[in-house]
Every structure is written in C-alpha cells, then in structure tokens.
C-alpha cells in the first residue's frame, strides 16, 4: 500500500517568516494530494489540495508543489501568523478514494 512520510515533525518559525513542510510518497499511482490543518481539539480541515496533473497550486498565503518524478510534495506557508499554529497533515490517494496520511507536523509561530 501507499506509504507517506512527512518532515519535519515539529517546526517553529518567527511570525512573518515562511514555513515549509515536505512529504514523500511511495506509490507512483497516487494522483491526489490534500493537506489538512488540525487545531488543538478540533477536526482536521482541508486547506489545499493538488492533483498529479498540476505542478503547483496557490491560495493566498499557502501553496503546494508537486514533483511526480521524485514522488514528493510540499506545503509552503508565507508570512506566517499566530493563527497558523496547528498540526498539518499531508496525504496521498491512489485513486481508490482512500487516503494515506503522513504523521503530521506541529507548527508553532512565535510572536
């Protein structure tokens, strides 16, 4: 089955700086890559996703890039704000409507 690895496990950034989280996947058939944000005690919520036919997608301060050849994708958050502090999960779907998740990255934005 699909195996998704996520790094780093924790990330501390100064407010206003950028944050980058990287994920690798094992199954070259994976074609859908969502990112979820989970605040403490809350449910995971989708913040951005990308499909295998697209190399980059942007939504305001967040962007995701995908390198199919290397089988890795990354989340970029620019101009970080305190409300960006949360756990972020990457995931991959091999077109069978099942997601395999990374272990998560705890992002802390320092004021």
* Sites of contact with another protein (CB under 8 A): 1, 6, 9, 32, 34, 36, 42-46, 49, 89, 91, 93, 97-104
Q: 63 or 101: whose CB is closer to another protein?
A: 101
For the CB of residue 15, give the shortest distance to another protein in the complex, in Å: 26
Angle at 91 between CA 19 and CA 97, to 5 degrees: 155
For the CB of residue 45, give the shortest distance to another protein in the complex, in Å: 7
End-to-end CA distance of the chain: 41
Q: 71 or 78: whose CB is closer to another protein?
A: 71
Q: Quick one: 53 exposed, middle or buried, by C-beta within 10 A (0-12, 13-18, 19+)?
A: exposed
For the CB of residue 44, give the shortest distance to another protein in the complex, in Å: 5
Q: Which residues of 86-96 are buried (b: 16+ CB within 10 A; e: fewer)?
A: bbbbbbbbbee
Q: 44 or 73: whose CB is closer to another protein?
A: 44
């Amino acid at each position: 089955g699909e195996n998704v690895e996520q790094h780093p496990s924790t990330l501390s950034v100064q407010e206003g700086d950028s944050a980058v989280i990287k994920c690798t996947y094992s199954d070259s058939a994976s074609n859908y890559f969502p990112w979820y944000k989970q605040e403490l005690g809350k449910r995971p919520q989708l913040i951005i996703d990308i499909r295998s036919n697209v190399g980059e997608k942007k939504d305001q301060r967040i962007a995701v890039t995908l390198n199919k050849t290397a089988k890795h994708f990354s989340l970029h958050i620019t101009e970080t704000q305190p409300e960006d502090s949360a756990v972020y999960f990457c995931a991959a779907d091999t077109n069978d409507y099942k997601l395999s998740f990374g272990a998560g990255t705890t992002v802390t934005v320092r004021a």
